[in-house]
Chain A
Amino acid sequence: MPTPLPARDPSIRRQIVGLLIVAGLLMVALVVAIATRHDMFSKKAKMHFVTENATGLAPGTTVRLSGYHIGSVSTMTLQPDLKVRVTLSIDTEPFASLRGDASAVLVREQLRAPAIEIRPGKGADALAGDDPLIAYSRGNTLTEIADDLRERIAPILADVKEITGTVRSKQGEIAAVIENAASATRQLADTTQQLRALAGEVRGRVGTLGAQAQGMLAEANQAVARTGNLVGQAQKSLDTVNATLPGLMHKSSEMLDQLNGVARDAKTISASTAASVPGLLRSVTPLVDDTRDMVSGIKQAWPVRSLLPPPPSPLLPIDSLDAMILRDASIR
């Protein structure tokens, strides 16, 4: 008779079987997880784009819609024309909401993995067909955006420098212009009064004249009345200038401080890798646009405009060294 196994052997066997079952279950879970990650169980729609430069893209690159993960890059193929065909696999539900002019943009934010952001488009027709072609573009990096920003700030700063410099150096001149104009207006008002008095006197003296002379005097009186109105208008516009000029000058100084801050921000942005930078950039851009409009407004305002030198000609100066042959360093 065979020797019976010790009493603990069945328990070991059960433990081994149990471990094998757990390992099997873990394996299945892993397979399911991998399959899920690769979107093998959900129903997927495909679309593609073709690009000359697929730098930053790889199978598995996240595809987002409004910042929400909806799929990934499934395949990338180098075509005979050396362009790369990139196929995106995305959920069917968001796919249904895409329009015919939908496009993909590569978003590269420093310190974060590149991702493709889908722009749904606004066309009347839905994106149709199996694996349709969409447009693709590469978004600017933060450095590029910051450079662009700085590029746009530079002319504003130049304008502000010119305006504030002019206004400060010519404050006395502006005051003199206003004083002269006001003085002229006062003289004009006096003359109008004299003219009115004269007209009244004449009317009294020539009361016995015929109808023709009376008609002429009536015309003269009308002219005097019209002149009086013009004097009033002139005084009004001078009052407006007097009232707004100090504010205008104050605003110029304030604006310069504000713009210096913007320029500093732009420099900080280009050097920074902080995650908060995109938000900062978004908030700075409208400020720059507003500032440009305000500065442009100041430039157009009288009397600043009349004091500013005319804008320089956009024409680049012509130079004989523009000819490449004259720049050729190899010629002896």
Chain B
Amino acid sequence: MHRSASAPRGTGAVLLAALVALLAAGCSSPPARTTNTAHEAALSLNQRAARALQRGDNLQALALYEQALTVADSVEDFDTGGATLLNLAAVHARLGQTAQAHQRVDRILQAGGRYSGGLQAQAAARKALLYLDAPDLAAALQWADKAEAGCAAPCALAATLSDVRAHVALERGDAAAAAALAARASAQAEATQQSAEQANAQRLLGRAQMRLGDHVAAAAALQRALDIDRALGLPERIALDLLHAGDNEQRRGQKPAARDFFERALQVGQAAVLTRQVEAAQARLKALDAR
């Protein structure tokens, strides 16, 4: 009697379980709609600011990032707010407003609980770049170490931080160390497909090898940087590559080759309205003629 009652109950339970599983699979509700319009607005403002920055309109970008930050702050959207703070720091740095740039970054670093580890590492990396400009090379290295320590593997900041260290080594006159660090940065950037950073590394490598007197290797590195920057279509960086390539040729006594590089840099600078690059190319050509 007891057996006959339990058998159907067992079957029913199995069927019910199957039914629930089927319900979960077949009737899964559509993804929850995002109703956070403030979050959407903050993202949209960030996108507009990024476009302004691409146009070279730093002041407009600053104003739009400010608006994005206010919107993100209003709903405690720490991820978007943190990203916006870092973007603001980058724009302040471009405008030469170092104190404001530090202020923005410090807001992230001083409120560790609110911002993710990734944002903290980015903030530390931005600090390193700000100190590079100060120039406070020791502080730049300290912040680079902090950024690396807080950056989860695979660290997207690794190549940038290696380039920072390479530059510090170059500034301190240790060209061999600078070359080693730049080569490492290039490999890291290649592994993470960060082409622009890879070109930066190759440019630093070329400069370090030039100081070491290895002009052939320097020319090859600068050519690699040039190839990448031309593929990316970045005039300011192309002009930098050409100027350094010209310097390298000049140092090894190849005046016609140096002139060619400087004239190409001048053309790029004039076409892209890069005042500093134009001035630098003109100064180098003038110095070349004087000799």
Contact = CB atoms under 8 A, between A and B. Distances in A.
Interface of A: 151-152, 154-155, 181, 184-185, 187-188, 191-192, 194-195, 198-199, 201-202, 205-206, 209, 213, 216, 220, 223-224, 227, 230-231, 233-234, 237, 296, 300, 302-303, 305-306, 311, 313-330, 332
A301 B79 CA distance: 24
Contacts of A316: 50, 53, 86-87, 90
A188 B51 contact: no
Interface of B: 4-5, 8-9, 11-12, 15-16, 18-19, 22-23, 25-27, 30-31, 33-34, 40, 42-44, 46-48, 50-53, 68, 80, 83-84, 86-87, 90, 93-94, 96, 119, 122, 125-126, 129-130, 132-133, 135, 157, 159-160, 163-164, 167, 185, 194, 196-197, 200, 236-237, 239-240, 243-244, 247, 276-277, 279-281, 283
B16 A318 contact: no
Which of A305, A329, A330 is the most central at the interface, judged by chain B CB atoms within 10 Å of its CB? Answer: A329
Contacts of A184: 22, 25-27
Contacts of B84: 314
Contacts of B46: 314
Contact of B5 (A206, A317, A323, A327): A206
Contact of A191 (B15, B83, B87, B247): B15
Contact of B243 (A206, A313, A321, A329): A329
A134 to B, nearest CB: 25
Nearest to A158: B47
B129 A191 contact: no
Contacts of A313: 83
B167 A325 contact: yes
Contact of A202 (B12, B83, B96, B129): B12
Contacts of B44: 155
Nearest to B244: A332
A181 B240 CA distance: 58
Contacts of B4: 205-206
A248 B159 CA distance: 45
Contacts of A321: 196, 200, 237
B237 to A, nearest CB: 7
Given A199-B12, A233-B27, A325-B133, A314 B283 contact: no
Given A322-B126, A323-B167, 9 more contacts: A155-B44, A184-B27, A195-B15, A195-B16, A223-B16, A320-B167, A327-B240, A329-B280, A330-B283
B83 A319 contact: no
Contacts of A151: 48, 51-52
Contacts of B197: 319-320
Given A315-B122, A320-B167, A234 B157 contact: no
Contact of A187 (B5, B22, B96): B22
Contacts of B23: 188, 227, 230-231, 234
A327 B164 CA distance: 13
What 3 pairs between A and B have smallest CB-CB spacing?
A184-B26, A314-B46, A302-B30
B26 A234 contact: yes
B276 A300 contact: no
13 contacts: A154-B51, A181-B26, A191-B15, A198-B8, A198-B12, A230-B23, A302-B33, A314-B46, A316-B53, A318-B122, A320-B197, A325-B135, A329-B243
Nearest to B121: A318
A191 B23 CA distance: 11
B232 to A, nearest CB: 11
A267 to B, nearest CB: 16
B48 A155 contact: yes
A314 B26 contact: no
A234 B167 CA distance: 62
A108 to B, nearest CB: 19
A113 to B, nearest CB: 28
A138 B8 CA distance: 83
